[in-house]
Structure formats: structure tokens, C-alpha cells
Amino acid sequence: MSTAPTQVEAAARRRAPRRRGALYVAEHQFRSMYNYKWTVVMSGIGTPLFYLLGIGLGLATLLDADVGMGPGGAVPYVVFVAPALLVSAAVSVATEEFTYTVMSGFKWRRVFWGINATPVEPGQIATGLVLAVAARMLFGTAVYFALMLAFGAVGGLWTMWLLPFVGVLGGLAFGLPLLAYSASLKDDSGQFAAVQRFVFTPLFLFSGTFYPLETLPTALHWIGWISPLWHASELGRVLSYGAPRPGWLVAVHVLALVVLAVGGWLLARRAFTRRLR
């Protein structure tokens, strides 16, 4: 009789990792992030501070044109631009964590192979990484949002409180397809730097971050339509200051972000399984 509890415990132990594997992976990632906690904190606070100060105190004072329109007329430039900056903060976390961290796990430090020998399945390794990175993104977007409040860079609708989550959704919509790509790479021979320079930067500059997409020649509008940055920024503007957009367009923004994120996550899980099994 006295052995019964231990047997139950042992059986539970064998079952438990299968359900909570992704959480253990996330816990491990948090411990690793703790090593570069100052990078996380300083870039999380410093980047929005510099952007909001630079744009709010500098650039905005030079602008005469009304760039962003709310339901009651023009909104200050910083209010227009802030939701897009918040989204790009989450996306820049993705360009780091879903590239170099992945290559490190498979190749440089080979940590994923160690986890692979435990009851945790490859798909759970991918999901655990996503959970940890999403948490880091949420920290970044929450800090951004707090500073936006301090700088008066939000519109004041109650829906503005959703901005940090829109940022995370945008970050994942950009990041999860990138994660799937990174997991399929055997080696980094400059691909990650190329993603940064030729994917992230152009999207940052050309998908309605600093000015409405319609300002660009029609021939370039497609960049916005394929860009998770644009979809998330526009969604953020609707939620922050009630930018007037038709309902169908708002639905398209949400749908595009969800499809990219979920599709990327499924592909990433598959890429991890192919690599590790």
C-alpha cells in the first residue's frame, strides 16, 4: 500500500511533461534571457523613449500637414505614428529571437538537441520558444504603451488598452513565418542580416509607419498589403484614436495577422519536427 503514492507520482511524472512541455521550454528560455536582461530592459525602455522624444519634440514640430485623421479631425503626428512604432518594437524582438536564438538552439549551442532527448516533442520546443518571445514582446509593447501615455501619444479611447496586444500579434505575424524559415536553415551565411536589411527595414519604411500608405504611389501599395507591420499599425490606429476605417478593412487587418501568425506557427512546428526527428 505504501508504494501506491510513489507509483502514482511516477506515472504522473511520465504524463506531465507531455502536456506542459512547451511551458518548460519557455521557462528555460526565460532563464537564458535573464542573462541578457539588461539588453531586454534597456532596449525595451530606451528605443521608445528615443523615438517618442525625437518625433514628438523634433519631427512633429516641423510638420504642417495633417498626417493622421481621427473621427473629429486631424490628430497630432505623434499620436498617428506611435501605434506603428509600438508594433515595430515587437517586430524587432522577432527579428532577433526568431533568428539567432533559433540558429543557436540547433547549431551553435545545440540546446534544442538536448531538449529533444527528453519527453518534450519538437513541436513543443517551437511553441515554448514562441511563448517566451511573446512574453518578451509584451514587456516591450507594455513599456511602449506606458511611455505613449506619458507623452500623450494615444488617442484616449478605451480600446487603446489593447495596443500592447496588437503589438504582440503584429510581432508574431511577422515573427512566426520567420521562425519557420530560420528552423529550416542549416547555417547562417548572412540570411539573418539580409532579413533585417531587406525585409524588416523596407517594411518599416514603406508600410505606412511614418505616413499613410496612400501617400505612396499606387504601384507600391502592395508592400503594405503583404506587411504585417501595416495591418497591425492600422489596427492600432483604429484602437488608439478611432482612425476612421471601414469595418471590412479592420476585419482584413485582424484576419491577415491571425493567418500569418497561425500559419507561421504550424510551419515552425513542422520545421522543428523535421529537423529534430
Partner 1 sequence: MPAPVVHAAALTKRYGDFTAVDAIDFEVAPGESFGLLGPNGAGKSTTMRIVGAVSARTAGDLQVLGLDPDTHGPQIRSQLGVVPQEDNLDAELKVRDNLIVYGRYFGLSRAVCAQRADELLEFAQLQERSGAKVDDLSGGMKRRLTIARALINTPRVLMLDEPTTGLDPQARHVLWDRLFRLKEQGTTLVVTTHYMDEAEQLCDRLVVIDHGRIMAEGTPSALIREYSSREVVELRFGSERNAGVAAQLEGLGERLEVLPDRILVYTANGEEILEHVSRAGLHPTTSLVRRSSLEDVFLRLTGRSLIE
Residue in 54, 114, 156, 202 binding partner 1, rule: CB under 8 A? 114
Provide the mask over 21-40, with x wherever binding to partner 1 is found by CB under 8 A and - wherever it is not.
Answer: x--xx-xx--xx--x-----
Instruction: Give min distance, CB of 230 to partner 1, in A.
Output: 35
Residue 271, interface with partner 1 (CB under 8 A)? no
Contact 76, 60 (CB under 8 A): yes
Please, is 154 exposed, middle or buried when counting C-beta atoms within 10 Å of its C-beta (0-12, 13-18, 19+)?
buried
Site size with partner 1, rule: CB under 8 A: 30
CA distance 179 to 129: 10
Instruction: Give min distance, CB of 35 to partner 1, in A.
Output: 5
Residue in 37, 110, 197, 274 binding partner 1, rule: CB under 8 A? 110
Residue 97, interface with partner 1 (CB under 8 A)? no
Closest of 124, 98, 106, 134 to residue 18, by C-alpha = 124
Cα 240-210-153 angle, rounded to 5 deg: 35
Contact 166, 140 (CB under 8 A): no
Contact 119, 206 (CB under 8 A): no
Residue 13, interface with partner 1 (CB under 8 A)? yes
Instruction: Give min distance, CB of 187 to partner 1, in A.
Output: 16
Please, is 39 exposed, middle or buried when counting C-beta atoms within 10 Å of its C-beta (0-12, 13-18, 19+)?
exposed
Residue in 81, 94, 103, 115 binding partner 1, rule: CB under 8 A? 115
User: By the criterion CB under 8 A, which residues form the site for partner 1?
Assistant: 12-18, 20-21, 24-25, 27-28, 31-32, 35, 109-111, 113-121, 276-277
